[in-house]
Amino acid sequence: MQGHAPSSKFIVISSIAVMLLLGQLAGVAHGGGRQRNPPCKEMTVYYHNILFDGTNTANATAAFATQPTLLSRSASINDTFFGEIVVFDDPVTAGPALASEPVARAQGFFFYDKKESPNAWFAFSLVFNSTAHRGTLNLMGADLMAEKTRDISVVGGTGDFFMARGVATLRTDSYEGLYYFRLQMDIKLYDCYDV
């Protein structure tokens, strides 16, 4: 009988350890086991998109890069522009006014990817070239335009933002018809490296 006692204790202790481990894994799988660190860098900037309307050649910073397809023409009856691509080289400023201090250029593209309502997918770089910052932040993700705020991923960077990763929260701050919009971008970086 005494020979069985250590193995019984071992089974009980092993069972408890396995249950604790499974509980930890379940918490991690549902986001409960991960503690978030505060951002290592935060900034708020304003992105200005001025779409070419056929007459504003000197001021335009964005243009449709594709001819509308038959599907996009029929879908655009609801102003969704489904399937159309816009290429841009947009000013990014420190304040909401277009005349505010320039901090970067947003260079890339977005395309409209929903037939029922306006929705876009962005891929662009914020190109910094000032005394405050040099380098790029690369961003991509879905711009769910109907939402008050939406997040896109910061997937990398160069220079002062070497290998940075984080989230940019977008909020439509202003728009004028189809040809101008301004986004407030609250950028939080969670991976920062000193170079």
Query: How is the chain split into domains, by residue range?
Result: 1-35, 41-191
pLDDT of residue 78: 62
Per-residue pLDDT of the chain (195 residues; tens, 9 = 90+): 555 555 666 565 655 655 555 555 444 444 455 567 899 999 999 999 999 998 999 999 999 898 767 766 665 566 677 888 999 999 999 999 999 999 999 999 999 888 777 789 999 999 998 888 999 999 999 998 889 999 999 999 999 999 999 999 999 999 888 789 999 999 999 988 875
pLDDT of residue 97: 95
Q: What are phi and psi of 65, to 5 degrees?
A: -105, 0
The CATH class that applies to domain 41-191 reads mainly beta
Q: Give pairs for 114-120: CB < 8 Å, separation 24+.
A: 114/80, 114/82, 115/71, 115/75, 115/80, 115/82, 116/78, 116/80, 117/78, 117/80, 117/145, 117/146, 118/79, 118/80, 118/81, 118/145, 118/146, 119/80, 119/143, 119/144, 119/145, 119/146, 120/145
pLDDT of residue 13: 61
